[in-house]
Structure 1
Amino acid sequence: MDASRRKKWVAWAAALAIFVVLMLVTPAIPQDEDYHDFADQRTLFLGIPNTLNVISNIPFLFVGITGLVLCHYNDYFRLSSQGELWSWTLFFAGVTAVAFGSSYYHLFPNDATLVWDRLPMTIAFTSIMAIFIIERVDDRAGTKSLAPLVIAGALSIIFFDDLRPYALVQFVPCIAIPIMAIVIPPMYTHSSYWLWAAGFYLLAKVEEAADKPIYEWTHQIVSGHTLKHLCAAMVPVFLALMLAKRTIEPERVSLFQKWKISWIAVRENQSKDRNTVDVNYGYAAVSTSEQ
């Protein structure tokens, strides 16, 4: 076994060990029944209960189908490998399924229907992790990790009456992806779109947490959970735009390095400007004294 492969096995073993330790040392987290008590429970038209929380999932359908079509139509996204193709296909398939799963859940909010809300999201989350491994670490390792990650995500929903596995599947990518997007040199251009997507997802989580306060602040026009759906749908929008615009990066430089170079350039320009002002001021003072 060569050194690079050994490192990959060590990394996977370390991740598994961390997961096992977390499961052993932390208490189980059952689903809170109050989670299903959303602020906006109005039936506004067509007899649809919780109307706005249901129909606000429609953007996921349009974005997901568009992404699926463009993944396979005339190589529109210019994906470099089969691993990328399957990973992005699963991601947009998950986004499309969110439209149906989340709508079904919000029609009948309970623990049983919540499974169909979260399952498509885990497919999207885990596919994104595989994509990042393909793009930023190693194509072969990322491709091989796709199936295990998706299966692990599905199992965290189906076979656990405990939110800890699902929390890991959801929040680890939320932390890891922005950090990897900033620190690890990208294979493609337009890498900053990852940060826009992460920012909208963070905003969506804030709106979800503030469901009832937002409903009151807007005088019961729209709830935080409805806005959460709309903001979360912007994540695949930005990623689809990134795929459409990006090209192979000729010089693989991380966003952190680019920001560092830009910061140094700004500091140098400010220093030059100050020196120019001092010289001009000194010259003017000398000229005045000579007169």
Structure 2
Amino acid sequence: MPTDNRLRIMLAVIVAAIIAVFNVDPIAQNPAYHDFADQRRIFNIDNFFNVLTNLPLVIAGIIGIRLVASGQARGGLAELKTMYLAFFIGVFLSGLGSAYYHYQPDNQTLFWDRLPMTIIFMALFAVIIGEYISTQLARKLFVPLLILGITSVVYWQITELNGHGDLRAYGLVQFLPVLLIPLILRLFDSKLDNDKSIWGVLGIYALAKLMELLDIQIYNIAGFSGHSLKHLTVAFAALIFYWALQERTTTKKD
């Protein structure tokens, strides 16, 4: 794959983001993060709805794993099968980890919520690289990206335990792909016939983050918290990708 100006633009964004993030002071976890709007105890389960709404994530993960593992993901590229599988494994584990966290929210359980999320972020990022830029590049970057994502959460947890928490690396892992994926979609052509599904996943994820930010406001209006709706929305984003892996067709080869 020849180096061109599109890759230089992406590299410039990556370098600028890293410099910007690590030029700010370390960011510790805000203790108020665990104070969710809906803390109702139902059936002896604390934070019942924040726990229960992770079930669709678990289900989406299971059906996605079955689709890819059975070789039925005809709407993807065979070379990226491991990455598709990792994405849905991350979705499945995220549902379990998030349910565990919301059952007893604190920094220790939050670790198990965030760890599988990095698998989702990095697997999806590798998929986009493979579908739009180069499958060979994606396969080379996949494992390093996974290690980077997992390390960012481990680093945050270690710094929290040592009394000087630092979320900067995790923030970079979470939000840099969100900047780069739209850029890739605009600059490169997909090897598959329909990229609307990827835009849909990005749009739904943005909506989920908005619901998370408006947790209390949505709860006061609807009686159902924004954070619970976030879980349902993220599960829907995973389903969009699941449907894409069934319906897209190849348009050109790497």
TM-score by length of 1: 0.78
The structure showing larger relative contact order (alpha-carbon pairs under 8 Å, at least 6 residues apart) is 2
RMSD over aligned Cα, in angstroms?
2.6
- Residue identity in the other structure for 1:227: L
The offset of 1:180, in angstroms, is: 2.0
Change (3 A) 1:206 1:24: closer
Aligned to 2:82: 86
- Matched pairs, number: 246
Aligned to 1:201: 205
- How far apart, CA to CA, are the structure 1 residues paired with 2:68 and 2:169? 30
- How far apart, CA to CA, are the structure 1 residues paired with 2:252 and 2:133? 17
Aligned to 2:188: 184
The offset of 1:72, in angstroms, is: 1.8
Q: Which moved more, 1:168-177 or 1:110-119?
A: 168-177
Q: Deviations over 1:181-215 (max 9, x none)?
A: 23321100121011111111111100100001111
- How far apart, CA to CA, are the structure 2 residues paired with 1:112 and 1:179? 35
Aligned to 1:233: 235
Aligned to 2:38: 40
Counterparts of 1:204-283 in structure 2, within 5 Å, are 204-218=208-222, 221-249=223-251
Q: Residues 208 and 233 of structure 2 are in contact (CA less than 8 Å); yes or no, is this contact kept in structure 1? A: yes
Change (3 A) 1:166 1:242: same
Segments of 5+ residues of structure 2 without an aligned counterpart are 157-164
- How far apart, CA to CA, are the structure 1 residues paired with 2:8 and 2:252? 31
Aligned to 1:100: 96
The offset of 1:154, in angstroms, is: 0.5
SS in 2 for 1:4: coil
Aligned to 2:64: 67
The offset of 1:77, in angstroms, is: 2.9
Which of residues 108, 112, 116 is equivalent to 2:108? 112
The offset of 1:98, in angstroms, is: 0.7
- Residue identity in the other structure for 2:24: T
Among the aligned pairs, what percent are the same residue?
A: 34
Q: Deviations over 1:51-88 (max 9, x none)?
A: 00001000011111111111021444354333x01101
Query: Based on CA coordinates, which of the two structures has the bigger radius of gyration?
Result: 1
- How far apart, CA to CA, are the structure 2 residues paired with 1:102 and 1:198? 20
Aligned to 2:161: none
The offset of 1:174, in angstroms, is: 1.7
The offset of 1:91, in angstroms, is: 0.4
Change (3 A) 1:194 1:80: closer
Which of residues 51, 55, 58 is equivalent to 1:54? 51
TM-score by length of 2: 0.88
Segments of 5+ residues of structure 1 without an aligned counterpart are 253-291
The offset of 1:175, in angstroms, is: 2.0
